[in-house]
Structure 1
Amino acid sequence: MQSWLLLGAAILLEVAGTTCMKLSDGLTRLWPTLGIAVFYLASFACITLALRRIDISIAYAIWAGLGIVLMSVIAALFFGEAMTPWRMACIALVLAGVVGLNLSASH
């Protein structure tokens, strides 16, 4: 269970780091730029520890897939990016892939 919590933390920290990329305005703003480094280092530490108990193919797919989904939602809500039906369908496909990979790990 701890490994899954670490994976969840890794996802949230990666999303925070990516959000800081946008907020850094091309690395011109100090605090968001520092946030990129801090959040990504913490994310990599968490996923590395999670890999002790979770297969890398599963962990990485979940980390990347859920990161994409969360960033898409944040981009739409906070940065005014369009959430078109096509984008929502693609996000649903990413989620389906993450769920499918996760279910395949239990067999």
Structure 2
Amino acid sequence: MPVWAWLMGAVALEVVGTTALQQSAQFTRVIPTVLMAVCYGLSFYALSVVVQSMPMGMVYAIWSGTGIALISLIGAVFLNQQIDTAGVIGIALIAAGVIVINLFSGSGPH
């Protein structure tokens, strides 16, 4: 499987895990808590595969930046969480950084 597929899988699992974390109600709900733990574990496994082919700093920047943007979007769309102007600008800058890494860095997944 290509390294970028592992990386996108790691991002997707982290996003599902973080969404489940919010739904776990401080670990008092069993199913979201178990889903969170499984998704985080699988996400870190996928990251361990990716860092064999890419620099760890680059992997972490893409994984965390993409995750932040997606979690913020899920919070706004599905959980009715408000994002102020500064938050939108910050998320846009994170997304821009991920795009720059992927398009212009020789260390990104190509």
Deviation at 1:20, TM superposition (A): 0.6
- Quote the RMSD (CA, aligned, Å): 1.5
Question: Does residue 1:29 correspond to 2:55, yes or no?
Answer: no
Residue aligning to 2:88: 88
Structure 1's consecutive aligned runs of 4 or more residues displaced over 6 angstroms after TM superposition are: none
Contact 1:3 1:51 in 2 (8 A): no
Instruction: Give the share of equivalent positions with the same residue, in percent.
Output: 37
Extract unaligned runs of 5+ from structure 2: none
Deviation at 1:57, TM superposition (A): 1.3
Residue aligning to 1:50: 50
* Greater Cα offset, 49-58 or 4-13: 49-58
Contact 1:9 1:43 in 2 (8 A): yes
Extract unaligned runs of 5+ from structure 1: none
| Higher share of residues assigned helix | 1
Take 2:69 and 2:61, find their aligned partners in 1: how far apart are those partners?
12
TM-score (norm 1): 0.92
Residue aligning to 2:10: 10
Take 1:57 and 1:82, find their aligned partners in 2: how far apart are those partners?
30
Q: How many residues align?
A: 107
Take 2:85 and 2:95, find their aligned partners in 1: how far apart are those partners?
15
TM-score (norm 2): 0.89
